[in-house]
């Protein structure tokens, strides 16, 4: 998909979202829309509020004001874990540091959401774990522990776990942080492949320009707590706003 919308209703709509920590206004009225099947990259420097916005989207943080519609539900009105459970089934989240359980094998890490949220048999779960590992380009490593894996392999295992429940939306928090360029390109290819094969809608939060150029249908830039520009990738590449050009090209 290129561009945004094509007459479709948004799958994520963020309207006037604010968030402050004491006197520090991190988000100052963020407006952002994500359409089904697209990959939107949210760019921004360190401290721009990208991860804070993600935290609000998945319930780790509560917005100070504004509204977030996610999968047709107003999540900014949620107050209990029960309300969030439906969202957690339909929205996957890839943590910046992979966040695998150190004491669990690869198999058990990927199987965890399936065991918690489904009634699948152990055999069916084992089969699905194998298919998920193949989907992210990994072979028979089910019995390995996270400490035995490279950073790139850990990230791919985490991605397999993220898509285990077949989410409609995947949120990526700095998916290439700490990875070498070749491994980062592999992650970029996986993000694109999952979009094409599974129809996943993706919000990729990053400061990695190389990644943005490889995966984005549209790009938004968060600057000093506000979205300063949103548009198709080619439009952003050629934009003359000095804030955008400095971030993209230095």
* pLDDT at residue 6 is higher than 70: no
Determine the average pLDDT of the residues in 175-201.
89
**pLDDT level of residue 33 (50, 70, 90 thresholds):** very high
**pLDDT level of residue 58 (50, 70, 90 thresholds):** confident
Residues 6+ apart with CB under 8 A from 132: 110, 160, 161, 163, 164
Instruction: Please give the backbone phi and psi of residue 43, each rounded to the nearest 5 degrees, phi first.
Output: -95, 155
Query: What is the pTM assigned to this prediction?
Result: 0.88
Considering the chain, what is the average pLDDT of its residues? Answer: 88
Domain ranges of the chain: 12-249
* pLDDT at residue 4 is higher than 70: no
Task: Give how far Cα 14 sits from Cα of 31, 93, 176, 242, Å.
Answer: 5, 17, 25, 25
C-beta of residue 34 within 8 angstroms of C-beta of residue 11: yes
Q: How far apart are CA 33 and CA 104, in angstroms?
A: 37
Q: What is the pLDDT of residue 1?
A: 47
**pLDDT level of residue 3 (50, 70, 90 thresholds):** very low
Look up the CATH number of domain 12-249.
3.40.50.300
Q: What is the pLDDT of residue 5?
A: 55
Name the token pair of 81: 């874990």
pLDDT digits (tens, 9 = 90+) for 84-116: 877 878 888 888 877 899 999 999 999 999 998
Instruction: Say how many Å lie between the first and final Cα of the chain, rounded.
Output: 29
């Amino acid at each position: 998909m290129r561009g945004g919308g094509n007459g479709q209703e948004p799958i994520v709509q963020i309207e006037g979202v604010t968030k402050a920590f004491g006197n520090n206004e991190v988000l100052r009225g963020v407006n952002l829309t994500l359409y089904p099947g697209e990959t939107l990259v949210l760019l921004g420097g360190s401290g721009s509020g990208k991860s804070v916005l993600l935290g609000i989207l998945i319930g780790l943080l509560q917005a100070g004001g504004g509204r977030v519609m996610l999968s047709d539900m107003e999540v900014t009105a949620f107050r209990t874990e029960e309300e969030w459970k439906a969202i957690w089934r339909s929205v996957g989240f890839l943590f910046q540091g992979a966040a695998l359980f150190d004491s669990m094998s690869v198999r058990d890490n990927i199987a965890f959401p399936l065991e918690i949220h489904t009634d699948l048999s152990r055999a069916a779960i084992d089969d699905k774990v194998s298919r998920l590992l193949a989907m992210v380009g990994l072979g028979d490593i089910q019995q390995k522990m996270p400490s035995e894996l490279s950073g790139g392999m850990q990230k791919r295992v985490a991605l397999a776990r993220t898509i285990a429940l077949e989410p409609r939306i995947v949120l990526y928090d700095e998916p290439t942080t700490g990875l070498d360029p070749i491994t980062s390109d592999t992650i970029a290819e996986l993000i694109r492949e999952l979009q094409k094969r599974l129809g996943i809608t993706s919000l990729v939060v990053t400061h990695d320009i190389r990644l943005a150029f490889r995966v984005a249908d549209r790009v938004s830039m968060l600057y000093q707590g506000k979205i300063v520009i949103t548009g198709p990738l080619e439009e952003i590449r050629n934009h003359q706003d000095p804030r955008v050009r400095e971030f993209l090209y230095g």
